[in-house]
Amino acid sequence: MESIETEVVVAGAGPTGLTLAYELALAGVETLVLERLPEPIRQTKGGGIQPRTAELLELRGLLAPLLPRTLPRAPVGGNFALLPVPLDCAPWDTRHPYPIMVPQWEIEKVLEERATARGARIRRDAEVTSADADDDGVTVTTDDGLRVRARYAVGCDGGHSTVRKRLGMPFPGRPGTRPAVLADIRLSAVSPLVPQQAAPISALTRRANGVWSMLVPLGEGRYRLTYGYDEPGGDADRDAPVSAEEIATALRAVYGAETVLGGVDNSSRFTDATRQVERYRAGRVLFAGDAAHIHPPLGAQGLNLGVQDAFNLGWKLAAELRGSAPAGLLDSYHAERHPVAARVLHHTSAQRVLADLSPSEDVAALRDIFVDLMRLPDTNRHLAGLISGLALRYEIPGAAHPLAGRRVPDAELVTASGPTRLSSFFGAGHAVLLDLGGLVPDDVRLPGHVDLVRAKSTADLGAGALLFRPDGYVCWAADDAAACREGVLPAIAAHLVA
């Protein structure tokens, strides 16, 4: 049996695992990713990048290589429960007010290229078969005869996570009752009912003859098809193959006999199951992405929730491995991210009811009222912040400033080197101390993983000095020189490095 030692072993090379691999490699952590598939599945699924995820990717320079790979999409806001009122992110002051559509395999390709360029190793066609943890580390084996010994392991291996199951971690929640199919297809003939251009999701959704469907044009005769049936069922056949005839039958039911299936590029089944692992950390093993939480794919949350898990975990795990993490920093991963996913599970459950295309009379009335509410600016702003991730605020212990735990818009800044943007200072994966008012003493001595930026801004960012974590969230802020002198170094020691 081949044996390898590494600092961190990551199970799963989806967007979550690859983002984490990049973050760890950026921090100089030796990282090995194990993936059961020999190559990425060229499927469009999970390709909606929400505004906050776009901001986080931009912090690391990972958004720019994704933008040329975007799919055609109308410049409309996000969606809640397939209702016909787009979510407006403009009040949240972001440079990315609309979801960005990129096929998931393209996202994985860019992340893998960038992670391996930083030194991460990816081993494909290597399915994890066991994971055993002790006080000193984790031993993982694969079906291709590999034994990995690591200081930490992270399960990013999906809703059926082997790592989670091997450790006996409970995954409570609700089983799926409404199976559905996702497929990338080509049409050789279309009826007038088939959409010909990108549009809001609500306009691309139809129901007829006991079948509901969402058909998204991808260009050049290609479409992403999602469909299911009015009659609920179990998820026992989730792994059953999807035949071309099944897809063709569903297309005819919704779009008429003139719509002819030309080919199926790929297909898979999914359900509306809702589950969340009770603890995101079990000693030296942590969980992220679908290994930690699954939910109905409403509002385009899944990929974003997992990628944001990785941004939260990566710098904390690196600090733990360097021996510079303050007490409790790694445990704060669970404390911060578990409530975020719980909220997503909560609102996707609500969307599941509202999105029913064959609603009861009561649900239809609820939908009508909810649509009216979504047209109110305050309601729309609240839902837009919820779905986009822009409203997220972490609880930062001991931090009283109103900005603590929040994102800050990507402001235009002027430094001694010239004009730039706030996002440009996070590429190294360090914390950033932004001094906008000359509040930071010239003789301050900062740790190596905290970068001092002295700048001016025409926009009011809400404080004269702000300390950002590597994931772009404020962990401390000050409004005057005295508070800065007295507080900045204790804040760094408490929240970033010991």
Question: Residue 213: phi, psi to the nearest 5?
Answer: -150, 150
Mean pLDDT calculated for residue range 290-312 = 94
Q: Is 374 exposed, middle or buried (0-12, 13-18, 19+ CB in 10 A)?
A: buried
- pLDDT for res 416: 95
In the sheet that holds 274-276, the strands lie side by side as 173-174, 274-276, 293-294
Q: In what order do the strands lie in the sheet with 222-229?
A: 205-208, 211-219, 222-229, 180-189, 260-270
Give the pair of three-digit tokens for residue 432.
Answer: 């950033």
| Overall average pLDDT of the 192-211 stretch | 88
Single-letter amino acid, residue 420: T
pLDDT for residue 237 is more than 70: no
Of 104-108, 197-201, 255-259, 348-352, least confident by mean pLDDT is: 197-201
pLDDT at 234 over 50: no
Tell me what pLDDT residue 176 has: 87
Average pLDDT, the chain: 94
Write down the domain spans for the chain.
Answer: 2-173+275-388, 180-270, 412-495
User: What separation, in Å, do the N-terminal and C-terminal C-alpha atoms of the chain show?
Assistant: 40
Is the pLDDT confidence value at 3 over 70? yes
Which of the four CATH numbers 3.40.50.970, 3.40.50.300, 3.30.70.2450, 2.40.50.140 does domain 180-270 have? 3.30.70.2450
CATH class given for the domain over 412-495: alpha beta
CB 197 within 8 A of CB 179: no
Average pLDDT over residues 416-433: 97
pLDDT band at 41 (very low <50, low <70, confident <90, very high): confident
Name the pTM for this structure.
0.95
Give the pLDDT of residue 232: 62
Region class of 378: left (phi > 0), else alpha (psi between -120 and 50), else beta = alpha
Q: Any idea which fold 2-173+275-388 has? A: FAD/NAD(P)-binding domain (3.50.50)
